[in-house]
């Protein structure tokens, strides 16, 4: 078992990422700045699981605020040789039945692809974000990891549905997730810009998946998404700008870590944040602050929001002809620890494969080591595709 | 282009302090990202509306409803330090 588990009290239940509040558990979002913070309430998704009779097994560690590649910079985590993500490892090992994970910049999708489990980042707004430690609210989303598509579907049906406590929650009270198209007869497009950027091993996974899909009556073509690279830049600009604002609340006064070394309130703020946040988060804050500043706002942040619309329109147009897009979830099949000074650009590079769903709110599912994307609210189609590939019922 | 002076101003604005090595690395990453931003500028967006929210939702306001979501005791549990009935905060004025 990997090094990233923070606190698993019982096996067989549901692990919850450390960026999601669970009453009674320390919830530090992988950061020293929230060390010792025990929330007064659980996230809505957690409460729904508990009301449905599921046990919360414990917290699965994440990198600070979920900003890193695979949880490698979780505060207090031991080092390991291979990075695979805590929640995905717990699911793969059978220690837990499933996991709730926040998809901020693709981390749970990468982890699922590397650990051989399924993960669905549902359509934005279908699962309440109430109780999530926020970073980039406009695109982060709680998703579900499980060993099979059937397991994802089971848990997703419990946690999805309107929550009046979340202002971005969509109005549907429940979602069926059994109402998708049958896999045979679907049209799937391989995104050439993402396929071409992956390693030979990842390309082989996608190619093998495409062959299996063709064998079950799915039409598979290569398609172009010319704005894929722009989507990555736009999402990372939005992420940094929003995170900069959201983590400004951590100042050593109200909760979490407080530096013991200060002579006045300015030193209290500066020392607590300097000692409590890691270099990756500091860079995200500084860059996010810069792109929101006078003189940079219109050329950076405003531009990113306009590109976001263009990407959404380009993706929407593809879904007129295709039911799903197929691509790798990450460039490699194995990741090793690296220095935090390289973290931002490492994550930026890998977010090429994951940024479009975060930027546009569409669902994305990793199964069998590859990633599928579908139009908004077509999550069921992704579950059907994954289930068909797993040899289960295709509709 | 981000300058050392500009970075110092950003540190102060965000209540952070970098080491010299972190400053050098930060300036380097800013340089990398500025190249990415330049590529974004090449995309024509005249007349394109910004997209802040990805789903078509509008705010709907309801009447205020008074509720007691937390008890005083539960709120005190979340305090770093507290007395019997109040939060304690560091003394900041002599």
DSSP B6-34: HHHHHHHHTT----HHHHHHHHHHHHHHH
Q: Starting at the earlier edge strand, list the strands of the sheet with A5-8.
A: A5-8, A56-60, A14-17, A98-103, A141-146, A118-121, A364-367, A370-373, A324-328, A187-191, A219-223
- Identify the pLDDT of residue A10: 58
Q: At what angle do helices A343-350 and B20-41 cross, to 10 degrees?
A: 30
Q: Residue A84: which of A72, A75, A95 has the closest Cα?
A: A72
- Identify the pLDDT of residue A255: 77
B56 in contact with A at a CB cutoff of 8 Å? no
**Average pLDDT in chain B:** 91
Find residues 268-287 of chain A whose CB sits inside 8 Å of chain B: 268-271, 273-274, 277, 279, 282-283, 285-287
Q: Residue A132: which of A105, A166, A162, A164 has the closest Cα?
A: A166
Reading the block at residue A361, the tokens are: 């709110």
- Identify the pLDDT of residue A4: 47
- Identify the pLDDT of residue B78: 77
Rounded Cα distance between A281 and A100, Å, is 23
Q: What does the pLDDT look like over A84-99, one tens digit per residue?
A: 999 999 999 999 999 9
Check A237 against B51: CB less than 8 A apart: no
Task: Flag the least confident range among A142-156, A306-320, B7-21, B77-91.
Answer: B77-91
Find residues 2-21 of chain B whose CB sits inside 8 Å of chain A: 2, 6-7, 10-11, 13-18, 21
- Identify the pLDDT of residue B91: 75
- Identify the pLDDT of residue A3: 38
Q: Nearest CA of chain A to the CA of B55: how many Å?
A: 7
pTM listed for this prediction: 0.95
Check A138 against B52: CB less than 8 A apart: yes
Give the contacts of A141 (CB within 8 A, at least 6 positions apart): A102, A103, A121, A122, A124, A127, A129, A358, A361
Mean pLDDT for B23-50 is 97
**Could you give the dihedral angle defined by the CA atoms of residues A108, A109, A111 and A114, in that order, rounded to the nearest 10 degrees?**
170
DSSP state of A34: G
Per-residue pLDDT tens listing for chain A (395 residues): 343 455 566 567 999 999 999 998 999 999 999 998 989 999 999 999 999 999 999 999 999 999 999 999 999 877 778 999 999 999 999 999 999 999 999 999 999 999 999 999 999 999 999 999 999 999 999 999 999 999 999 999 999 999 999 999 999 999 999 989 999 999 999 999 999 999 999 999 999 999 999 999 999 999 999 999 999 999 999 999 999 999 999 999 877 899 999 998 899 999 999 999 999 999 999 999 999 999 899 999 999 999 999 999 999 999 999 999 999 999 999 999 999 999 999 999 999 999 999 999 999 999 999 999 999 999 999 999 999 999 854 44
- Identify the pLDDT of residue A394: 46
- Band of pLDDT at residue B51, cut at 50, 70 and 90: very high
Reading the block at residue B83, the tokens are: 């007395």
Domains and CATH numbers, chain A: 5-234+302-389 (3.90.1300.10)
- Identify the pLDDT of residue A76: 84
Give the contacts of A339 (CB within 8 A, at least 6 positions apart): none
- Chain B residues with CB inside 8 Å of A344's CB? 29
Cβ proximity of A332 and A201 under 8 Å: yes
Neighbour count for residue B39 (Cβ, 10 Å): 11
Find residues 74-93 of chain B whose CB sits inside 8 Å of chain A: 74-75, 77-78, 80, 89-90, 92
A297 in contact with B at a CB cutoff of 8 Å? no
């Amino acid at each position: 078992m990997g090094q990233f588990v923070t606190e698993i009290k019982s096996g067989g239940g549901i692990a919850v990422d450390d960026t999601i509040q669970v009453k009674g558990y320390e919830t530090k979002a992988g950061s020293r700045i929230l060390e010792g913070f025990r929330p007064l309430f659980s996230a809505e998704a957690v409460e729904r699981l508990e009301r449905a009779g599921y046990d919360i097994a414990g917290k699965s560690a994440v990198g600070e605020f979920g900003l890193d590649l695979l949880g490698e910079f979780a505060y207090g985590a031991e080092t390991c040789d291979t990075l695979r993500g805590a929640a995905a490892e717990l699911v793969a090992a059978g220690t837990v039945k499933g996991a709730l994970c926040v998809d901020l910049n693709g981390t749970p999708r990468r982890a699922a692809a590397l650990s051989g489990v399924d993960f669905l980042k549902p359509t934005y707004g279908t699962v309440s974000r109430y109780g999530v430690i926020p970073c980039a609210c406009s695109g982060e989303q709680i998703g579900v990891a499980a060993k099979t598509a059937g397991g994802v579907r089971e848990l997703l049906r419990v946690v999805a549905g309107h929550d009046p406590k979340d202002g971005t929650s969509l109005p549907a009270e429940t979602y069926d997730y059994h109402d998708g198209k049958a896999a045979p007869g679907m049209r799937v497009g391989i995104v050439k810009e993402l396929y071409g950027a992956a390693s030979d091993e990842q390309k082989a996974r996608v190619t093998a998946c495409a062959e299996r899909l063709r064998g079950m009556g799915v039409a598979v073509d290569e398609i172009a998404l010319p704005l894929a690279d722009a989507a990555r830049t736009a999402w990372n600009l939005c992420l940094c700008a929003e995170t900069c604002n959201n983590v400004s609340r951590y100042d050593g006064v109200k909760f979490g870590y407080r530096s013991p070394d200060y002579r006045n309130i300015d030193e209290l703020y500066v020392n607590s944040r300097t000692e409590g946040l890691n270099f990756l988060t500091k860079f995200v804050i500084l860059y996010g602050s810069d792109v929101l500043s006078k003189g940079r706002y219109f050329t950076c942040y405003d531009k990113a929001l306009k590109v976001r619309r263009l990407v959404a329109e380009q993706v929407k147009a593809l879904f007129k002809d295709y039911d799903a897009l197929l691509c790798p979830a990450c460039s490699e099949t194995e990741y090793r620890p690296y220095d935090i000074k390289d973290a931002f650009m490492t994550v930026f590079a890998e977010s090429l494969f994951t940024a479009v769903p975060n930027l546009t709110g569409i669902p994305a599912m990793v199964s069998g080591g590859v990633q599928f994307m579908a139009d908004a609210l077509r999550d069921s189609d992704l579950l059907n595709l994954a289930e068909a590939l797993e040899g289960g019922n295709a509709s | 282009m981000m300058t050392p002076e500009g970075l110092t101003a950003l540190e102060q604005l965000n209540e952070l302090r970098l080491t010299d090595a972190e400053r050098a690395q930060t300036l380097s990453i800013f340089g990398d990202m500025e190249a990415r931003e330049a590529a974004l500028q090449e995309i024509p967006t005249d007349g394109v509306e910004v997209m802040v929210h990805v789903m078509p939702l509008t705010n709907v306001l309801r009447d205020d409803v008074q509720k007691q979501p937390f008890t005083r005791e539960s709120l005190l549990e979340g305090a770093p330090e507290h007395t019997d009935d109040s939060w304690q905060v560091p003394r900041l004025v002599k």
